Amino acid sequence: MEKRVAIVTGASRGIGLEIAKSLGRQGRHVVCVARDQAKLEAAVAAIRAEGGSAEARTCDMGDGAAIEAMVEAVADAHKRLDILVNCAGITKDGLMMRMSNEDFDAVINTNLRGVFIASRTALRPMMRGKWGRIVNIGSVSGIVGNAGQANYAAAKAGVIGLTKTIAKEMGAKAITANVVAPGFIQTDMTDVLPDIVKDGVKNITALKRFGQPNEIAAAVAFLTSEEGGYVTGQVITVDGGMTMA
Ligand code: NAP
């Protein structure tokens, strides 16, 4: 069988980079997407150095027309699209009473609207191929809320509703859709937080440590695998036991 083609957004660094590398090791052709061309080229080189197959495509996940054009170009070039991992995301934290409309809209635009448009565009080639895997990277903030993250928590909660709806609409087409919801993972996004916040998070995490990007990639690898095909509409929380249902 030809390699399955996977788009990973946010693949230039952090969690998305580890997901892209892991899918490359699984034998997928990985399309690495983000805004920073140089970092994407480095991601592609890292995947190829491990014997994998990859290419870079710049795209702003806050620009709906650009997202549609990127996904369609990938599907046209490869005559297939099998896997979409929406990992690109931003934060613009601030307490509710001080949060501007602009900061609310910016986070919703990239973290929720971008996921909707990428998923909608990817579904057509997945339906043609009668197989598909969509994994959206959520957050525990979208499940339990988080002070200072009204915009981010709303976007990530929206991603859960969106993903469950895709799962219900597309199940009959052998397309699955799931959310992986990380807790506190060591990346650029969390490095900037003050020590007092980091210590607080460690304290409420059962495993008493931060997670690593490869620990999120492992969950994505399972959900996008051939064997992961009977899991759909789920939220897989990977948070070291910070939250428990
Ligand atoms: P990160 O280190 O800040 O990386 C963010 C990635 O998203 C980068 O590749 C960035 O690439 C890309 N990106 C941001 N805005 C973009 C845009 N408009 N268009 C295209 N790409 C864009 O963050 P991370 O920690 O790896 O987070 C990855 C995902 O996990 C996010 O969805 C985040 O919300 C989620 N998450 C993270 C944590 C955590 O503790 N780290 C916890 C829960 C959920 P460019 O800058 O090159 O565009």
DSSP line for 58-85: E--TT-HHHHHHHHHHHHHHHT---EEE
Q: Is 184 in the pocket of ligand 1 (CB under 6 A)?
A: yes
CA of residue 133 to ligand 1 center, whole Å: 20
In Å, how far are 74, 203, 210, 214 from 199, measured between CA atoms?
Answer: 42, 6, 10, 22
Please check whether residue 55 lies inside any domain of the structure. Answer: yes
User: What total number of domains does the chain contain?
Assistant: 1
E strands present in 87-214? 132-137, 175-182
Length of the chain: 245
The atom of ligand 1 lying closest to the CA of 111 is 32
The residue behind tokens 């969690």 is 15
Global pTM value: 0.98
Please check whether residue 80 lies inside any domain of the structure. Answer: yes
Please check whether residue 210 lies inside any domain of the structure. Answer: yes
Question: What pLDDT is attached to residue 185?
Answer: 98
> Could you list the residue range(s) of the whole structural domain that residue 208 is in?
5-236
Residue 179, φ and ψ in degrees, nearest 5: -110, 135
Query: Which residue among 189, 204, 212, 216 has the greatest number of ligand 1 atoms within 8 angstroms of its CB, and so is best to mutate?
Result: 189
The atom of ligand 1 lying closest to the CA of 9 is 21
In single-letter form, the type of residue at position 220 comes to V
In the predicted model, is pLDDT for residue 31 greater than 90?
Answer: yes
In single-letter form, the type of residue at position 23 comes to L
In single-letter form, the type of residue at position 31 comes to V
Q: Is 62 in the pocket of ligand 1 (CB under 6 A)?
A: yes
Q: Is 60 in the pocket of ligand 1 (CB under 6 A)?
A: yes
Contacts of 229 by beta carbon, 8 Å cutoff, 6+ apart: 174, 176
Q: Is 198 in the pocket of ligand 1 (CB under 6 A)?
A: no
Pairwise CA distance, residues 10 & 33, whole Å: 6
Pairwise CA distance, residues 84 & 33, whole Å: 11
Return the number of other C-beta atoms located less than 10 Å from residue 229's C-beta. 14
Q: Are 47 and 53 in contact (CB under 8 A)?
A: yes
Query: pLDDT tens for residues 185-207?
Result: 999 999 999 999 999 999 999 99
Q: Are 119 and 87 in contact (CB under 8 A)?
A: no
Residue 167's domain is classified under what CATH number? 3.40.50.720
Return the number of other C-beta atoms located less than 10 Å from residue 41's C-beta. 14
Please check whether residue 68 lies inside any domain of the structure. Answer: yes
What percentage of the chain has pLDDT greater than the value 70?
Answer: 100
Average pLDDT over residues 218-222: 98
Please check whether residue 189 lies inside any domain of the structure. Answer: yes
Catalytic residue IDs = 152
CA of residue 127 to ligand 1 center, whole Å: 28
CA of residue 111 to ligand 1 center, whole Å: 9
CA of residue 85 to ligand 1 center, whole Å: 12
Average pLDDT over residues 222-235: 98
Q: Is 182 in the pocket of ligand 1 (CB under 6 A)?
A: yes
Q: What is the mean pLDDT of the chain?
A: 98
Q: What are the structure tokens assigned to 4, written together?
A: 């399955």
Q: Is 69 in the pocket of ligand 1 (CB under 6 A)?
A: no
Query: pLDDT tens for residues 124-163?
Result: 999 999 999 999 999 999 999 999 999 999 999 999 999 9
- Band of pLDDT at residue 225, cut at 50, 70 and 90: very high
In the predicted model, is pLDDT for residue 9 greater than 70?
Answer: yes
Question: What pLDDT is attached to residue 245?
Answer: 81
Pairwise CA distance, residues 141 & 144, whole Å: 5
